[in-house]
Structure 1
Amino acid sequence: MKKEPGRPNQLITKKFAKDLHLNFMKYRAGIIAKYIKKEDANAVWFSVEELENYIHYIKTKGEKTGYDVKGIRFYFGVYPDERKYAEKAGLMTLFLTATGKIKPKTLNTTGIQTFASVREDENADTSASRDDDNADISTIEPMNYGSIGRPPSLLY
């Protein structure tokens, strides 16, 4: 028998979600559209399968490379205004990146330190540390390319 998931603490009412979206449309969308001279994306969609796969991927890769993956940060971005991005060119997007911290090194049964692939020298390509649970893990690839909601804008 599957255990029913707990109710997340971050849930909001549908009315508050609608208010948040209307505030975006009222206070940001018009300014952006005026500046870029076109209507911008106002939503990004990922399937549950894509999100579950990304979560599994970052947990697995984190485990293999010595990171304790604690979360996902969502960043806003803008696609380059280039032909290869087709209808997304110049429009806002949302991308995800793993966050967490470096696991403490431990000795395995052979006396060899584990997580040797985590580089701690000054040239290391990571912002994660042993102390910050929420640092971006730059050695795990971010995820992008959800479907964007743009003209006509999606309304919540």
Structure 2
Amino acid sequence: MKNFVSLIIGIAIGAIAMYLYCTDDAEAANALGFTAPNGIIKAKGARTLDKAYNLKHSIINDSLFKKSTNGGDNRSSWWSVKDIQNYINYAENQAGELGYTMDGLRVYLGSYPDTKGQTGLTTMFFIPTGNKITSEGSILPTFQGGGTDIPGADGLNRGGHGQPPGANYPQ
């Protein structure tokens, strides 16, 4: 009987320990069981980052756009959830065809070329990242690191810009 009680207590302690170990952040897990991904910031943190970027943006905007009437250079890009979900599916499939396992997305800042005397606006685009598939059937995990751009993979661009383009967070 003493061993049985010890077993039950051990199982209960183990279950509690596993629950605490597997729960990243009590605030992040809501009633539906969603867990917040790494890197979540609160709105206040987003405002801090946006304000810190103001000096860099004003240097770029003032030197290139000379008080333009179109609202200046882009500060943000927007994609629909459907477009991002479709892109992730597309990129995972293409990564597999290219011999890679996709592990994430990298966001790059870019700029459209100057055309017809107008300065090209800043844009942001996604590129899939991953690891080369090196073996099949291995039971040992590969510790290659991750997050390298997948050569030849298509990116996602053409997000909508802010209203006006130079608008700060939040819009």
Query: Is the 8 Å Cα contact of residues 76 and 165 (structure 2) preserved in structure 1?
Result: no
TM-score relative to the length of structure 2: 0.67
Query: Is the 8 Å Cα contact of residues 40 and 150 (structure 1) preserved in structure 2?
Result: no
Distance 1:153 1:34 in 2: 11
* Unaligned residue ranges in structure 1 (runs of 5+): 108-129
Query: Is the 8 Å Cα contact of residues 74 and 94 (structure 1) preserved in structure 2?
Result: yes
Distance 2:60 2:135 in 1: 47
Cα 1:152/1:51, change in 2 over 3 Å: closer
Query: Is the 8 Å Cα contact of residues 73 and 165 (structure 2) preserved in structure 1?
Result: no
Deviation track 1:24-63 (CA, whole Å, cap 9, x = no partner) reads 12x1111011221242101100110111011001111112
What's 1:106 paired with? 136
Deviation at 1:154, TM superposition (A): 2.2
Distance 1:143 1:20 in 2: 24
Q: What RMSD over aligned residues (CA atoms) do the two structures have, in Å?
A: 2.2
Distance 2:100 2:59 in 1: 40
Q: Could you tell me the percent identity over the aligned residues?
A: 31
Which of structures 1 and 2 has the larger relative contact order (alpha carbons within 8 angstroms, sep 6+)?
A: 1
Structure exhibiting the larger radius of gyration computed from Cα positions: 2
Distance 2:84 2:152 in 1: 19
What's 1:54 paired with? 87
Query: Is the 8 Å Cα contact of residues 91 and 153 (structure 2) preserved in structure 1?
Result: yes
Matches within 5 A, 1:128-147: 131-147=144-160
Query: Is the 8 Å Cα contact of residues 101 and 135 (structure 1) preserved in structure 2?
Result: yes
> Are 1:29 and 2:49 counterparts?
no
Aligned residues: 127
Matches within 5 A, 1:1-156: 4-25=33-54, 27-37=55-65, 38=68, 39-83=72-116, 90-106=120-136, 131-149=144-162, 151=164, 153-156=166-169
Cα 1:152/1:67, change in 2 over 3 Å: closer
Q: Give 1 or 2: higher helix fraction.
A: 2
TM-score relative to the length of structure 1: 0.72
Counterpart amino acid of residue 142 in structure 1: G
* Unaligned residue ranges in structure 2 (runs of 5+): 1-31, 138-142
